[in-house]
């Protein structure tokens, strides 16, 4: 009979150090860190937080630059309903939702999968939604130099729903526009397209 062995891709030294901190936190909360249910919790939490913040090890700009193509398309390109999961830097609690990203090409387009990858790279860090929205916009702008970029993000924040004000149905919406999207007509077209179900 062989025993199951899971192979994890984590920095062992970092995992050990973070796990020590979690053991101390659990003890300070009044828990018995020797009880069965908590024996592996510090290590699991250490690995979870490494995964939840692995965006620090990614370069969003290089992600976009790795798949740029010359194309004369001049109309709006939208990738919408991108799932986003991040961690509030104020309370270390999750916030999650969807983000919609658009740009108007100026001679260059990018492989469509790269935009969700950029969202992932920025969101897997300690964040506030407002900054995350701007970082995505600025990265697309720098990499493609398009005629304009638009980002709208809608998220639920566990720091509002699980603690504090405890309003379970609240949704926070942030937006960030530049270039052509600062014009009322273009911005309205973008909002209309992300609001309508085309399928």
Instruction: Write out the catalytic residue numbers.
Output: 88-91, 129, 157, 159
Phi (first) and psi of residue 191, to 5 degrees: -60, -40
> Cβ contacts of residue 81 below 8 Å, gap of 6+?
98, 100
Cβ atoms of 55 and 91 within 8 Å: the answer is no
Cβ atoms of 109 and 165 within 8 Å: the answer is no
Check residue 85 and give left, alpha or beta (phi > 0: left; psi -120 to 50: alpha). beta
Phi (first) and psi of residue 83, to 5 degrees: -65, 135
d(CA 115, CA 121): 10
């Amino acid at each position: 009979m062989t025993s199951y062995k899971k192979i994890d891709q984590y920095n062992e030294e970092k995992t050990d150090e973070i796990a020590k901190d979690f053991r101390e936190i659990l003890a300070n909360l009044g828990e018995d860190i020797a009880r069965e249910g908590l024996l592996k919790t510090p290590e699991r939490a250490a690995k979870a937080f490494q995964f939840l913040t692995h965006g620090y090890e990614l370069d969003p700009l290089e992600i976009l630059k790795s798949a740029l193509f010359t194309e004369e398309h001049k109309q709006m390109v939208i990738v919408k309903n991108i799932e986003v999961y991040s961690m509030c830097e104020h309370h270390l609690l999750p916030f999650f939702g969807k983000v919609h990203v658009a740009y108007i090409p100026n001679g260059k387009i990018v492989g469509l999968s790269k935009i969700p990858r950029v969202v992932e790279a920025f969101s897997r860090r300690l964040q506030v939604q407002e900054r995350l929205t701007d970082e995505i916009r600025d990265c697309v702008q720098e990499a493609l130099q398009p005629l304009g970029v638009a980002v709208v993000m809608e998220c639920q924040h566990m720091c509002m729903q699980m603690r504090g004000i405890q309003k379970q149905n609240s949704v926070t919406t942030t937006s960030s526009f530049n270039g052509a999207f600062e014009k009322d007509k273009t911005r309205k077209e973008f909002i209309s397209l992300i609001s309508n179900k085309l399928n």
